[in-house]
Chain A
Amino acid sequence: MSLFTFFNRKGSAPAARERLQILLAHERVNIGGQSDLVTLLREEILAVVAKHVAIDPEKVTVTMERGDNVSTLEVDIEIPLHAEKKAA
């Protein structure tokens, strides 16, 4: 046992419990073809942007972090200066 584990006698179970609670809260919504809010927003944001510019899928970076009280969604889309506006 290392010093680190010696001073961490509380054990790792509480961390496991917390991780599972957050994960399952998000996953349960996903069952039945539905998406959790972060995924839904991601899809809709990309769709809205795609309506106006031809997005190069290589130039899109999406990161998500599902949290307990807050989740974050980061959509990074490179839009060329002279992007062809799509005909509506």
Chain B
Amino acid sequence: MAKVIVVTSGKGGVGKTTSTAALGAALAQRGEKTVVIDFDVGLRNLDLVMGAERRVVYDLVNVIQGDAKLPQALIRDKRVETLFLLPASQTRDKDALTSEGVEIVMETLKRHFDWIICDSPAGIERGATLAMRHADAAVIVTNPEVSSVRDSDRIIGLLDSKTLKAENGERMEKHLLLTRYDPVRAARGDMLKVDDVLEILSIPLLGIIPESMEVLRASNLGTPVTLADKTSAPAMAYEQAARRLAGEIIPVTIPGERRSILAKMFGRRAA
């Protein structure tokens, strides 16, 4: 059975696209058929981070408008054969994404894939709400910083109201992915603590990704960080996050500390 994941944040530039590529590649490497979809119409970037930018033939909007069939728009990764990319359109605007069109695409993909990972654009507009609409679970990418945490809280509200799951009265599974975590600044006490963010947002922790040069290197080369140097700190952190997403129970270690926390369920307080 396919599982649809939305990678979202509200705030821009926190690491959604990086995380989509890294988690998608890690899941595909387990041998599970995975597709990553770029919902950032007009400003696509997932193709670049995946290193497939020169191979884009058709995109999501072409499929929705009937110019191309879905299989023709899917780009198979050259490194992992169970990994596919569905690119966003670069030349159209957000309105080209229709709710009906997205639904048909998602229903078709669900029949053929184990994992469907949707890279949401920043903001809370159409692209972002359509990316989360069909999700079974959400990965909320947050930086340990006040405006990012606030925007994540806003997004959690949307996940609990604007999605199909919410409308059907079901519970949306939510996971916090804390990215760009800087152990040095944390030690100095200038960064929000992991426990603080967890307490404020009250959703279980999927992983903590350290701020790292490896992420920049990997995106320069067009390689998801989990397919680049696998022993690097961010690659290992993403790989473990992917395993947790798949249901494994692995304690989360806080970069720069010896302490680790077992992701526990928090009851989210009503606002």
A residues whose Cβ falls under 8 Å from a Cβ of B: 2, 4-5, 11-13, 15-16, 19, 22-23, 26-27, 30-31, 33, 42, 57-58, 60-67
Query: Closest CB-CB distance, A33 to chain B, in whole Å?
Result: 8
Minimum CB–CB distance from B42 to chain A (whole Å) comes to 12
B145 is an interface residue with CB less than 8 A from chain A? no
Once A5-B229, A16-B220, A57-B69 are accepted as A-B contacts, the answer to whether A22 and B57 lie under 8 Å apart by CB is no
Contact yes or no, A19 B55, CB < 8 A: no
CB-based closest 6 A-B pairs: A12-B220, A16-B220, A66-B54, A12-B217, A57-B69, A23-B53
Let me know if B231 is at the binding interface, CB within 8 A: yes
**CB-CB nearest in chain A for B51:** A19
Q: Is the C-beta of B221 less than 8 angstroms from some C-beta in chain A?
A: yes
The answer on a CB contact under 8 Å between B229 and A12 is no
Complex Cα distance, B232 from A4, in Å, reads 12
Contact present for A64 and B57 (CB under 8 Å): yes
Q: How far is the CB of B24 from chain A (nearest CB, A)?
A: 20
Are A63 and B54 also in contact (CB < 8 A) when A12-B220, A58-B69 are?
no
Interface size on B, residues (CB 8 A): 23
Q: A12-B221, A57-B68, A64-B55 are in contact. List 8 more A-B contacts (CB 8 A).
A: A2-B229, A12-B216, A16-B220, A27-B90, A60-B69, A63-B57, A64-B56, A67-B54
Q: Which residue from chain B places its CB closest to the CB of A4 in the assembled complex?
A: B229
Chain A residues, Cβ within 8 Å of B220: 12-13, 15-16, 19
From known contacts A12-B217, A30-B91, infer whether A19 and B57 are also in contact, taking CB-CB under 8 Å.
no
Which of A4, A23, A42 is close to B57, meaning CB atoms less than 8 Å apart?
Answer: A42
Q: Which residue in chain A gives the minimum CB-CB distance to B73?
A: A62
Within the complex, which residue of B72, B91, B222, B231 is in contact with A61, where a contact is CB–CB below 8 Å?
B72
Chain B hits for A26, CB < 8 A: 54
Bitwise interface map of B from 82 to 100 toward A, beta carbon under 8 Å scored 1, else 0: 0000000011000000000
Given A12-B216, A58-B69, A63-B55, the answer on whether A19 and B222 have CB atoms closer than 8 Å is yes
CA distance A42 to B67 in the complex (A): 13
Report chain A residues within 8 Å CB of B218: 12
Q: In the complex the two chains form, what is the Cα distance from A65 to B232 in whole Å?
A: 30
CB distance A15 to B229 under 8 Å?
no
Q: Taking each of B54, B55, B71, B232, which has the highest tally of chain A beta carbons within 10 Å of its own beta carbon?
A: B54
Answer whether A30 and B90 are a contact pair too, CB < 8 Å, given A13-B220, A19-B48. Answer: yes
Residue of A nearest to B222 (CB): A19
Instruction: Give 16 pairs: A residue, B residue, CB < 8 Å, sorted on A.
Output: A13-B220, A16-B220, A19-B48, A19-B220, A23-B54, A30-B90, A30-B91, A31-B91, A60-B69, A62-B72, A63-B57, A64-B56, A64-B57, A65-B55, A66-B55, A67-B54
The 8 Å CB contact of B72, one of A15, A23, A27, A60, is A60
Q: How far is the CA of A4 from the CA of B223 in the complex (A)?
A: 15
Interfacial chain A residues near B68, Cβ < 8 Å: 57
Report chain B residues within 8 Å CB of A42: 57
